[in-house]
Chain A
Amino acid sequence: EAGVTQFPSHSVIEKGQTVTLRCDPISGHDNLYWYRRVMGKEIKFLLHFVKESKQDESGMPNNRFLAERTGGTYSTLKVQPAELEDSGVYFCASSQRFGGELFFGEGSRLTVL
């Protein structure tokens, strides 16, 4: 069974540009989460999808971040326009059960110059 896959693994962009991160969860997992880890800090929640619906987006930092989950399958996280403080590792995770163990992808490292 394939795990959670994320693309790209690393992205380097200039301030003001746009980046789109993609996550493919484990097949059959209705719950999909985005988390972010900024250098030296703890992992922080961004948002949670149940199928195609946003269950909780309270962690999204501002309206420069847009997350979508087309048809309840893969998800994208777009940052537009990117700022320096958006640099970090963006993790996607999925779970079968609400409140169960999370299966993480390897992360997408974003560097904004």
Chain B
Amino acid sequence: SQKIEQNSEALNIQEGKTATLTCNYTNYSPAYLQWYRQDPGRGPVFLLLIRENEKEKRKERLKVTFDTTLKQSLFHITASQPADSATYLCALPLDSNYQLIWGAGTKLIIKP
């Protein structure tokens, strides 16, 4: 069955440094991958979508890579700020119905 793995341990990063989060998946080849941010008690907020034919995508301080050979996506936040502290989720479509399956998320803590 399809599975998505994100580091379940919280990631502690010093303010100003680059935070890198990992999303690994198995057993299938998604057409795209999405990253969301979720704050406590709130719904997920879309950040970026990267397609299978794209190696890298950027949006302001955010950068996402997608390696379909390794079956891995990396999510980078450069010049991190305490306001970037949140849980970051990756999601991929399950076959042609575009039903998303989700990783459990990685909690990112940016320390001032």
* A99/B93 in contact, CB under 8 A: yes
A48 to chain B, nearest CB (A): 7
> Complex: how many Å from CA A106 to CA B38?
10
The interface size of chain A toward B, counting residues with CB under 8 Å, comes to: 24
Given contacts A45-B100, A59-B99, contact A91 B43 (CB under 8 A): yes
In this complex, the interface size class of chain B, counting residues with CB under 8 Å from chain A, is 20 to 34
> Complex: how many Å from CA A36 to CA B53?
30
* B99/A4 in contact, CB under 8 A: no
Given contacts A56-B97, A59-B99, A98-B98, contact A43 B89 (CB under 8 A): yes
Instruction: Give residues in A with beta carbon < 8 Å to B.
Output: 4, 35, 41-45, 48, 55-56, 58-59, 91, 93, 98-107
Instruction: Give residues in B with beta carbon < 8 Å to A.
Output: 4, 31-32, 34, 36, 41-46, 49, 89, 91, 93-94, 97-105
